[in-house]
Structure 1
Amino acid sequence: MLQKAQIFSLDLQTAVNQQQGPYYFLLFSTCKWSSYIVHMDKSLMPKAFASHEIWYSTTINSVKTQNLESSPSLIYTYDHTFHGFSALLSKDELESIKKSPGFVSAYSDRKVTLDTTHTSEFLSLNPTTGLWPASDYGKDVIIGLIDTGIWPESASFKDDGMSEIPSRWKGTCEVGQEFNASNCNLKLIGARYFNKGVIAGNPNITLSMNSARDTEGHGTHTSSTAAGNYVEGVSYYGYASGTARGMAPKARLAMYKVLWDEGGYASDVLAGMDQAVADGVDIISISLGFDDLPLYEDPIAIASFGAMERGVLVSCSAGNGYPDLGYLHNGSPWVLTVAAGSIDRRPSGRLILGNGLSLTGWTMFPAKAFVKDVPLFYSKNVSDCETAEQLALVPTDAVIICYNKYSAALEMLSFVSNSDAVAGIIISDDQSLYEFNKFPYPGVVISPEQGLEVIKYAQTTSKPTATITFQETFLGTKPAPVVAAYSCRGPSGSNPSILKPDIMAPGTLVVAAWSPNVHSSIIWPNIELSSDFTAITGTSMACPHVSGIAALLKGAHPEWSPAAIRSAIMTTANPLDNTQQQIRDVGTDFDAATPLAMGAGQVDPNRALNPGLIYDATTQDYVNFLCANNFTRNQIYTITRSNNNCSTPSSDLNYPSFISLYNSTLASNTVVTTVDYFTRTVTNVGDGAATYKAKVEAPKGAVVTVSPDTLVFEKRYEKLSYSISIAFTGDKNGTVTFGSLTWIEENSKNTVRSPIVVSPYVNQWE
């Protein structure tokens, strides 16, 4: 049976752009049976069955035929985040299942595609004040990672200073290939692996590592970023040296390995999330996602709804791809969706010319190379550094200057590596360069402005020379953060009426633990280097930062719901960079970043500790939202697992942001006024009575009205509501405009900010 290929990406930019980790594609299948995920209405289970497992098994057995080529078999049963099972079925057997009592919906299992030392300081976490001491560094909060596994011997997972495991924990350390129960400890309290889906989809495969051990590095990196213990003396080959630690150093970790060297399937992801909730995690961190799927077929959206019902916050990456609108995944309103930005740290080298001029450039060459007083070579005929003929003109033992405004810096460096040059000076203003960790040949990248001085020196000096030093790091670089070019933008195709992403966190060249059996850098042409820590890039790296911060907030405010934690993180975010200007976007040539790229802004952990007001939401609120958005009863049941009451549908979810969509297919000279109305309810979580006044920064071309514009709370936990209208008049030419609504507390520093976006409706699925 032919199946449509679906992309399920692990949000690691380097996996695609630097061949770091496998990259899988779903091949079309001609098998007579395939894996399906089936949703059932557990309330209709006949009383004759003692458990849902027996009911599901009996249902599958009832559709078996005499056809020996067909062999329906159960893969997983699910009961915590949704009700149902996955099974290997023929098309006819699936049709028979659909006629069984309690059937809700079914869809094909989908194959997977693989999509620190300074960040805590960059985010202002410190041991004396704020969120770290208030939460006791996340003590006893349990973070579940849905990922590629874990390298338990990493120093980031030592349990020094950890107390006994909380008695509420129900998980286990599952024994497997090269993984024993003793690999877990007071920090890594659980490790499980789920591979029935990938085996069912590939019956003849032999898994290279049939256990929770990480053979790709991704899961080890995300785990240590979220909650790694303190490790001193860490660096990436001499760059970014310091003490590594996760956002929540005292939190517990549990790994649920669902992705394999041989691929991965949605059924395994569902099984991992289902088990994580059953085991008792408080936070789920999942740096992967499904592209181009409606909410009722997106396994992460479905499982995270069940997790939310159990009080578990799910933190997801926004995805890696293009800076164009509408490619974001994980747009469910009940998850926290994280975009990626840069850090104020730059790995560097120093270029010193023979005349004494010293310039700082960018390099990540992973060694302390010896390039001292080497002849400097520049020729207009060779400066492109592109062809073999040009490179043949380069003298042996020289430093070559390359300047080609049409080529990326790393492309020019690769050309230099094929010459006799000792090193290369690359002149480039390619900003995306700073997102990658590969620098396989000695060299340094400098700006065009710096390059003019270097070229002038080379042309006017009889015997020009150059010295390059490596393994330097500069902190406090400006501007920072900037939105990364690879970070996917909203609106989400699955749910455009909710502004996504929610928040931005560090994702570019994040240093964290790594699996030492996976190369972390390379020296040309074929020397692969191993390290216990590496610097990699992606929204995968941003997500666990926020997962760890959510764990800190859970530790400080155990009574807060997932929606309350998300609200505190969003409404206290910072939309400004370290120059106190609007955060810029690398993907749009450093224009001001819109909330469709960065959400509410850069996460600010300490301010999130005391947000003043929160926007909370219940399970029924989400159900009402689904009811109002043209979902069928079966589709709603698939997500919610119950026949919830749709008597009060409302598309106006109590969310801490606002998005007004317009039809961009109208002629560019068409001027139309659109008006959207919203109602929000805020809860006072301050110390007592408080008065807040509204401050509006309206998007260009919009009129924003708030009523009332003053909220007077008489006591803590009091709830008050307000309404807001956004009237937009202008050319519907695809422009995104944005502003904000900020509630400012009188006689206090509390400000509660919500981004406002007016955007064209974008559907990349069409």
Structure 2
Amino acid sequence: MGDLPSKSDFSATSMHVSMLQSVMDSERASKSWLHSYHKSFNGFVAKLTEEEKEKIASMDEVVSVFPSTKKQLHTTRSWDFMGFPQDVKRTQIESDIIVGMLDSGIWPESQSFSDEGFGPPPGKWKGSCQSSSNFTCNNKIIGARFYHSEGNISYPDVPSPRDSGGHGSHTASTAAGGIVKGASLLGLGSGTARGGVPSSRIAVYKICWSDGCSDSDILAAFDDAISDGVDIISLSVGGLFPLDYFDDPIAIGAFHSMKNGILTSNSAGNSGPNPGSILNFSPWSLSVAANVIDRKFLTQVFLGNGKSYEGVSVNTFKLQNETYSLVYGGNVPAPGSDGSESRYCSLGSLDAKLVNGTIVLCDSLGNGTAQVEVGAIGTIMQSNGFNDFAFSFPLSASYLTSTDGTQVFKYINTTSNPSATIAKSVEAVEKAAPFVVSFSSRGPNPITSDILKPDLSAPGVDIVAAWSELSTVTGLEGDSRVVSYNIISGTSMSYNLTMMMLSYS
């Protein structure tokens, strides 16, 4: 409904319930109303039939009515690569910068969020901390709230600002994490982890849960963050398709943020490389694409015939024996399946009796859960897909090109007892960096074609940053690795260049 009326006696909730009562009876109106936005802009959430929605939409004071859908969540090296060394001179003003993180929460015990050396929060701060038995704020994390408009919170989610998935902690430490020496993922990517503005404060607004990020919660967080006094809002979520500005809660929240002098920094999205795939593109927000840095993670596959092939993955597993039996997924289908299905190693397609304890070759890139399900010790995956960034898997794994994968396939089918092993990943130099990574969403702007989007790109590939210890490295079934720092990729990581711009401006 736009800006808040200037009347001193204005009551948003009373006005919103009155509007509902004009299209339904009073009893149903009170049950239909869910939430009013009344701190920074004017609007409300309610349960409506299609007919009631049309009546509300026709009212003069209403700008737009749209359904609340679910949005999805889109280092030790990146800042050096960009030319911003650790010994740069810091100023006191950095400690007055408050970064509002709208994400999946935060892991407050991480070293990245220590408040050692910090004084009290800036006087402009008006927010609060929803502390609980398992969460407290400090002088680094000066505020924290959580939002869940859809009812009960159940496992693996926790009813507090605490991050149970890892994404929120990762983005918060990339943007504003303190300086932590010796950070790594089980030895990979070792170095000093730091955010773009390590001396800044963090205000946490947990809007994302295991099933996604509700539009109604996103707007509630914007309403609070603007009122609380943050200097910048970071948001790395997006929908599945572009929306008109009046129907996009992120664009609406960012508009009111901009009117209050607060920049909203958005991830462009992870739907590339198709053109027009950008999901956050409002003219008044900063949209950031992801580029690679001069580091990549490579994982060697050694075959029993002495040949080796180099793939990509973030593999922390170190296989104990020299070699293991090597099988092809298409040759070991489960009862009821056939090779045309099992070759792709889809869930339920592999025979546990034949795959258990082996390394299995698969003709597609998956997340590895199907191989773990049947007891595989490792997996080699091959396809014609992009290999300019690395995934983590719940077992020892390497992702090969189709050319190299074909050689592994030929070896299996021309050898009586094929065998292989997979090495732990090593770091290598990416000489072509920087370039925009394949998964990063592209323009042109699908709504306003004469406004270029994304606005810029920043490192977003294989980034080391803080992680939630309620999760594992992959968060997948069969993964038992609990870590303080993790390596992931996404435009969620790259958008935090904004924080660096604030730091050095």
Shorter-chain TM-score: which interval? 0.7 to 0.9
What TM-score comes out, normalization by structure 1 length? 0.55
Task: State how far apart, in whole Å, the 2-side matches of 1:375 and 1:69 are.
Answer: 66
Deviation track 1:314-368 (CA, whole Å, cap 9, x = no partner) reads 1001112242222211111111101122232222344567898876543433322
Q: Partner residue of 2:330?
A: 386
State which drifts further: 265-274 or 454-463.
Answer: 454-463
Q: How far apart are residue 489 of structure 1 and its match?
A: 1.5
Q: Partner residue of 2:276?
A: 326
Q: Is the aligned partner of 1:165 residue 2:121?
A: yes
Q: Is the aligned partner of 1:114 residue 2:72?
A: yes
Q: Is the aligned partner of 1:51 residue 2:2?
A: no
Change (3 A) 1:136 1:87: same
Q: How far apart are residue 386 of structure 1 and its match?
A: 2.2
Q: How far apart are residue 69 of structure 1 and its match?
A: 4.8
State which drifts further: 423-432 or 167-176.
Answer: 423-432
Change (3 A) 1:344 1:41: closer
The structure 1 residue matched to 2:491, chosen from 529, 535, 539, is 539
Task: State how far apart, in whole Å, the 1-side matches of 2:423 and 2:211 are.
Answer: 41
Deviation track 1:199-256 (CA, whole Å, cap 9, x = no partner) reads 4xxxx77795332222222211111111111223322233222222212111111011
Question: What is the correspondence of 1:129-148 to structure 2 with a 5 Å cutoff?
Answer: 132-133=88-89, 138-148=94-104
The question of whether the paired residues in 1 share the 8 Å contact of 2:395 and 2:479 is answered with no
Task: State how far apart, in whole Å, the 2-side matches of 1:253 and 1:149 are.
Answer: 11
Q: How far apart are residue 519 of structure 1 and its match?
A: 2.4
Q: How far apart are residue 150 of structure 1 and its match?
A: 1.6
The question of whether the paired residues in 1 share the 8 Å contact of 2:20 and 2:29 is answered with no
Task: State how far apart, in whole Å, the 1-side matches of 2:417 and 2:13 are.
Answer: 84
Counterpart of 1:114 in 2: which secondary structure?
strand
Q: How far apart are residue 143 of structure 1 and its match?
A: 0.7
Q: How far apart are residue 83 of structure 1 and its match?
A: 2.8
Q: Partner residue of 1:29?
A: none
Q: Tell me which amino acid in the other structure corresponds to 1:366.
A: T
Task: State how far apart, in whole Å, the 2-side matches of 1:117 and 1:461 are.
Answer: 43
Change (3 A) 1:493 1:80: farther
Q: Partner residue of 1:316?
A: 266
Q: Partner residue of 2:346?
A: none
Q: Is the aligned partner of 1:124 residue 2:80?
A: no
Change (3 A) 1:519 1:104: same
Q: Tell me which amino acid in the other structure corresponds to 2:172.
A: S
Change (3 A) 1:81 1:490: farther
Q: Tell me which amino acid in the other structure corresponds to 1:535.
A: I
Task: State how far apart, in whole Å, the 1-side matches of 2:111 and 2:223 are.
Answer: 29
Task: State how far apart, in whole Å, the 1-side matches of 2:289 and 2:244 are.
Answer: 20
| Identical-pair percentage | 35
Q: Is the aligned partner of 1:198 residue 2:150?
A: yes
Task: State how far apart, in whole Å, the 1-side matches of 2:265 and 2:478 are.
Answer: 38
Task: State how far apart, in whole Å, the 2-side matches of 1:84 and 1:418 are.
Answer: 47
The question of whether the paired residues in 2 share the 8 Å contact of 1:117 and 1:511 is answered with yes
What TM-score comes out, normalization by structure 2 length? 0.81
Q: Which runs of 5+ in 2 are unaligned?
A: 334-338, 340-349
Structure holding more strand per residue? 1
Task: State how far apart, in whole Å, the 1-side matches of 2:357 and 2:215 are.
Answer: 53
Q: Partner residue of 1:367?
A: 317
State which drifts further: 458-467 or 326-335.
Answer: 458-467
Question: What is the correspondence of 1:342-421 to structure 2 with a 5 Å cutoff?
Answer: 342-350=292-300, 361-372=311-322, 374=323, 385-388=329-332, 407-408=363-364
Over aligned residue pairs, what C-alpha RMSD do you find? 4.0
Length, aligned pairs only: 486
Task: State how far apart, in whole Å, the 2-side matches of 1:516 and 1:398 are.
Answer: 30
Task: State how far apart, in whole Å, the 2-side matches of 1:368 and 1:427 are.
Answer: 21
Q: How far apart are residue 40 of structure 1 and its match?
A: 5.3
**Higher CA-based Rg:** 1
Q: Which runs of 5+ in 1 are unaligned?
A: 1-38, 557-766
Change (3 A) 1:421 1:493: closer
The question of whether the paired residues in 2 share the 8 Å contact of 1:72 and 1:90 is answered with no
Deviation track 1:694-748 (CA, whole Å, cap 9, x = no partner) reads xxxxxxxxxxxxxxxxxxxxxxxxxxxxxxxxxxxxxxxxxxxxxxxxxxxxxxx
The question of whether the paired residues in 1 share the 8 Å contact of 2:185 and 2:486 is answered with yes
Q: Is the aligned partner of 1:84 residue 2:56?
A: no
Higher relative contact order (CA 8 A, sep 6+): 2
The structure 2 residue matched to 1:103, chosen from 47, 58, 61, is 61
Q: How far apart are residue 194 of structure 1 and its match?
A: 2.7
The question of whether the paired residues in 2 share the 8 Å contact of 1:59 and 1:97 is answered with no
The structure 2 residue matched to 1:508, chosen from 436, 440, 461, is 461
Counterpart of 1:329 in 2: which secondary structure?
coil
